[in-house]
C-alpha cells in the first residue's frame, strides 16, 4: 500500500520544461502551498515577504537563512509540485551562497531565486533606497550557486531589482545579460510600476537567451495568457494568498467578536472535515488500522 504522507515532487526544471507558462503562487506555510497546488498552480513560491509577515516581521533580511530554509522545506514536504525558494540576496556573500545552495538542495528544494540588492535587503515595495550590488559581484554569486549545486537539475533564478531601484529597463537588460553569462537558468525582472509597460519594454528587447519570470503584483490586470504571449515563461503571484488570509481572518474573527457567536459564519468558512483532508488525516489513520 502506498501512502501519500511523504509526497515526492518533480524538479522545478522539469516543470518549466513541461509547461509553456509555469504559474506559481506564493505561500508561507505548507497549508497555503497545498491549497495552491490543489487549485492548479504548478509550483509554490516560498516568499520572503510572506514568511516574514507570518511572524509579523518586516521583509528586511531579519530572519536568518535557517528560518527561510525551514519554512521552504516545510512547504516542500507537503507538496507534489516543486517549491521555488526566495533566497533574497543569498544571505550574504558568495561563501554564504555556496552554503545556501548546499543546504537548500539537501532539503529537497530544486529551485532558488537570488536578487541583486546589497545585504541586508528591504522588500521591493517598501520606501527605501534598494541599492544594487555591483553586477559583477552578483554574477559571481550566480556562478558560485551553479558551482555549488550537486544535481544538474538544480535551478537558479537571477532576479534583477534594476527597475525597482529606478535604474530602468536598459540597466535591467544589461544585468540580465551578465547573469545569463554567469550561468543563471532564468531571470526574474521585478517592477513596482502600476502598469506592465516597463516589463513589456524589457521583454521586447530581451534576446530570449533565458526564460523570464515576472511578479505582477502592482499590475494585477495582466492576464497570464497575455504575459505568456509577450514572452514570459513563469509568473509568480507572490503575496495574494497572504493578503486574502489577512482579510478573511479579520472579517471572520471580527464578526465573531462583534456578534458573540459564530453561527452566521458556518456556511462561509471551511468545515472541520476540510481541515482533516488537508492534514491527510485519513491516510495517517491507516497506520492505526
Site residues (CB under 6 A) for ligand SPV? 26, 47-49, 59, 86, 123-125, 215, 217, 238-239
Closest to 141 (Cα-Cα) out of 122, 123, 129, 159: 159
Strands 22-27 and 83-86: unpaired
* CB environment 137-164: b (16+ within 10 A), e (fewer): ebbbbbbbbeebbeeebbbbbbbbbbbb
User: Which of 86, 161, 185, 198 is close enough to bind Mg ion by CB under 5 A?
Assistant: 86
Q: Alpha helices, DSSP H only, in 78-194?
A: 94-106, 135-148, 168-181
Dig out the grid coordinates for 77 from the structure: 514536504
For residues 7 and 186, which CB has a smaller minimum distance to Mg ion in the complex? Answer: 186
Of 86 and 116, CB closest to Mg ion: 86
Would you give the binding string for Mg ion spanning residues 16-55, x where CB under 5 A is met? Answer: --------------------------------x-------
Where would I find the beta strands (DSSP E) of 232-280?
A: 234-237
- Count of residues in contact with Mg ion, rule CB under 5 A: 2
Q: Which cell numbers hold the place of 179? A: 547573469
Whichever of 59 and 185 has its CB closer to ligand SPV, that residue is: 59
User: Which of Mg ion, ligand SPV, none does 111 bind, CB closer than 5 to 8 A by kind?
Assistant: none
- Residue of 59, 88, 116, 185 marked catalytic: 59
What is the distance in angstroms between the CA of the first residue and the CA of the last residue of the chain?
Answer: 13
Minimum CB distance to Mg ion, residue 75 (Å): 14
Among residues 110 and 217, whose Cβ is nearest to ligand SPV? 217
- Tell me whether residue 137 is one of the annotated catalytic residues: no
Q: Output 3 or 62, the one with its CB closest to Mg ion.
A: 62
The verdict on 110 binding Mg ion (CB under 5 A) reads no
CA atoms within 13 A on the CB side of 212: 26
Q: Among Mg ion, ligand SPV, none, what binds residue 29 when CB lies within 5 to 8 Å by partner kind?
A: none
Q: Nearest distance from residue 95's CB to ligand SPV, in Å?
A: 23
Residue pair 23/213 in contact by the 8 Å Cβ criterion: no
Q: Which three cell numbers stand for residue 202?
A: 524589457
Q: How far, in Å, CA of 9 to CA of 187, rounded?
A: 23
In the complex, the smallest distance separating the C-beta of residue 123 from ligand SPV, rounded to whole angstroms, is 5
Closest contact distance (angstroms) between CB of 79 and ligand SPV is 17
Applying CB under 5 A, the residues found at the interface with Mg ion are 48, 86
Active site residues: 59
Amino acid at each position: 500500500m502506498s501512502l501519500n504522507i511523504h509526497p515526492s515532487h518533480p524538479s522545478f526544471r522539469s516543470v518549466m520544461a513541461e509547461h509553456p507558462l509555469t504559474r506559481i503562487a506564493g505561500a508561507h506555510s505548507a497549508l497555503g502551498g497545498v491549497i495552491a497546488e490543489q487549485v492548479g498552480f504548478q509550483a509554490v513560491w516560498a516568499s520572503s515577504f510572506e514568511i516574514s509577515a507570518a511572524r509579523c516581521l518586516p521583509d528586511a533580511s531579519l530572519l536568518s537563512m535557517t528560518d527561510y530554509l525551514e519554512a521552504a522545506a516545510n512547504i516542500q514536504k507537503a507538496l507534489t509540485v516543486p517549491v521555488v525558494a526566495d533566497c533574497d540576496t543569498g544571505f550574504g556573500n558568495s561563501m554564504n551562497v555556496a552554503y545556501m545552495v548546499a543546504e537548500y538542495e539537501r532539503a529537497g528544494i530544486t529551485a532558488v531565486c537570488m536578487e541583486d540588492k546589497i545585504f541586508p535587503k528591504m522588500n521591493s515595495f517598501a520606501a527605501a533606497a534598494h541599492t544594487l550590488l555591483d553586477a559583477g559581484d552578483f554574477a559571481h554569486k550566480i556562478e558560485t550557486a551553479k558551482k555549488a549545486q550537486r544535481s544538474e537539475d538544480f535551478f537558479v533564478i537571477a532576479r534583477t531589482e534594476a527597475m525597482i531601484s529606478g535604474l530602468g529597463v536598459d540597466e535591467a537588460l544589461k544585468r540580465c545579460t551578465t547573469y545569463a553569462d554567469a550561468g543563471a537558468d532564468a531571470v526574474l525582472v521585478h517592477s513596482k510600476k502600476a502598469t506592465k509597460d516597463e516589463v513589456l519594454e524589457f521583454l521586447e528587447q530581451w534576446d530570449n537567451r533565458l526564460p523570464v519570470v515576472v511578479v505582477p503584483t502592482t499590475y494585477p490586470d495582466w492576464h497570464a495568457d497575455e504575459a505568456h504571449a509577450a514572452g514570459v515563461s513563469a509568473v509568480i503571484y507572490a503575496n495574494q494568498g497572504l493578503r486574502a488570509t489577512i482579510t478573511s481572518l479579520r472579517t471572520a474573527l471580527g464578526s465573531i467578536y462583534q456578534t458573540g457567536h459564530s453561527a452566521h459564519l458556518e456556511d462561509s468558512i471551511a468545515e472541520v472535515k476540510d481541515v482533516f483532508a488537508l492534514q491527510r488525516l485519513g491516510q495517517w489513520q491507516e497506520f492505526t488500522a
